[in-house]
């Protein structure tokens, strides 16, 4: 009986690992192809083989030096500036809203939480046309501050995970600090936030990744003003019909370059990221 159970368990584990391995290969294959062909020496959009026959870094060099048509360095800087400012504002908004809902008790608190959760279920692109006309009325279209406003204005609605994390912190800390004369503001900044590194890192990462990778909102707001494009929008232009033949390999190189910072950041912070997610999911 025991041997039969162990055999069944072994077979089940093998099947599971085989399925996960196949899925992993399917997921990684496009990324490997992108990386390999960004170093491909052969020209053209496609080649009849998977592994390039010759390799070169020339397209990476051209990406940062040939800026007459596509100014990739400027787009990279735009993306970085927008992502950093959006990340700072969004992180502060999310953490403060989360702490308020977790620690304070006030009239209509439950209603605000429920409304926030419901609004958070609607996809952001539903409001993009309205956002465009609001920005146009304020003369902010085709400007980088407009992107920062759009990315960070509604960020407080993503309070659920952070609130769950703050719920796990003992209230005795707040009570002890209150007895010592600390205000709510001091408790948040000097006591709660310093011991909330996992959720802080999680919030920073999620707040940074969104603006760094977004395409749709930039496409609507920036229109044809190439100087204010972000990398996502600029790369899309590289594969337009009139440019694709000459700039496709630069497109591949640019896709690799823009993925490097966020990949390194995630690898550095992944332990805190996982801890923040799991701790924030304990209580709602």
pLDDT of 280 strictly over 60: no
d(CA 147, CA 216): 11
Encode pLDDT of 238-265 as tens digits.
888 888 888 888 899 999 999 888 888 8
pLDDT of 131 strictly over 50: yes
Residue 76 pLDDT grade (very low, low, confident, very high; cuts 50, 70, 90): very high
Encode pLDDT of 112-122 as tens digits.
888 888 887 87
What pLDDT score was predicted for residue 11? 85
- How high does pLDDT run on average in the chain? 84
Higher-confidence position of 43 and 204: 204
What pLDDT score was predicted for residue 2? 61
Sign of CA dihedral 166, 148, 129, 210: negative
What pLDDT score was predicted for residue 154? 81
Q: Of all residues in the chain, what percent are helix, strand and coil, respectively (each to 5)?
A: 75, 0, 25
The two most distant CA atoms of the chain are separated, in Å, by 76
pLDDT of 44 strictly over 80: no
Average pLDDT over residues 213-236: 87
What pLDDT score was predicted for residue 6? 78
Encode pLDDT of 136-155 as tens digits.
888 888 889 999 998 888 88
- Domain residue ranges in the chain: 2-58, 62-280
CA-to-CA dists, residue 42 to 49, 187, 263, angstroms: 11, 61, 28
CA-to-CA dists, residue 74 to 96, 141, 151, 195, 222, angstroms: 33, 19, 20, 38, 14
Higher-confidence position of 195 and 81: 81
Residue 52 pLDDT grade (very low, low, confident, very high; cuts 50, 70, 90): confident
What is the phi/psi pair of residue 26, to 5°?
Answer: -60, -40
pLDDT of 283 strictly over 50: no
d(CA 185, CA 101): 14
- What is the pTM assigned to this prediction? 0.83
pLDDT of 158 strictly over 90: no
What pLDDT score was predicted for residue 284? 45
Nearest residue to 91 (alpha-carbon basis) of 225, 216, 207? 207
Tell me which fold the domain 62-280 belongs to. Answer: MetI-like fold (1.10.3720)
What pLDDT score was predicted for residue 19? 95
What pLDDT score was predicted for residue 156? 81
Residue 42 Ramachandran class (φ > 0 left, ψ -120 to 50 alpha, else beta): beta
């Amino acid at each position: 009986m025991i041997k039969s159970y162990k055999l069944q368990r072994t077979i089940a584990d093998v099947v599971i690992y085989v399925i996960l391995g196949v899925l992993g290969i399917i997921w990684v294959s496009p990324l490997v192809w992108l990386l390999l062909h960004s170093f491909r020496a052969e020209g053209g959009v496609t080649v009849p083989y998977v592994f390039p026959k010759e390799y070169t870094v020339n397209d990476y060099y051209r990406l940062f030096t040939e800026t007459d048509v596509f100014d990739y360095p400027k787009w990279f800087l735009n993306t970085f500036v927008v992502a950093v400012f959006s990340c700072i504002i969004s992180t502060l908004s999310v953490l403060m809203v989360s702490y308020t809902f977790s620690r304070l008790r006030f009239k209509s608190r439950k209603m605000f939480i429920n409304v926030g959760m419901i609004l958070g279920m609607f996809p952001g692109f539903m409001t993009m046309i309205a956002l465009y006309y609001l920005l146009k009325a304020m003369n902010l279209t085709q400007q980088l501050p407009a992107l920062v406003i759009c990315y960070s204005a509604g960020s407080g609605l993503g309070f659920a995970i952070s609130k769950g994390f703050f719920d796990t912190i003992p209230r005795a800390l707040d009570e002890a600090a209150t007895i010592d004369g600390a205000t709510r503001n001091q408790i948040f900044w000097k006591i709660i936030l310093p011991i909330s590194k996992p959720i802080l890192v999680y919030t920073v990462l999620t707040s940074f990744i969104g603006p760094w990778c977004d395409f749709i909102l930039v496409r609507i707001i920036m229109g044809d003003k190439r100087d204010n494009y972000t990398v996502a929008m600029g790369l899309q232009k590289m594969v337009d019909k009139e440019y694709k033949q000459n700039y496709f390999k630069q497109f591949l190189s640019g896709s690799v370059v823009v993925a490097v910072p966020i990949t390194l950041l995630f690898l550095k912070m992944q332990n805190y990221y996982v801890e923040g997610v799991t701790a924030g999911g304990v209580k709602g």
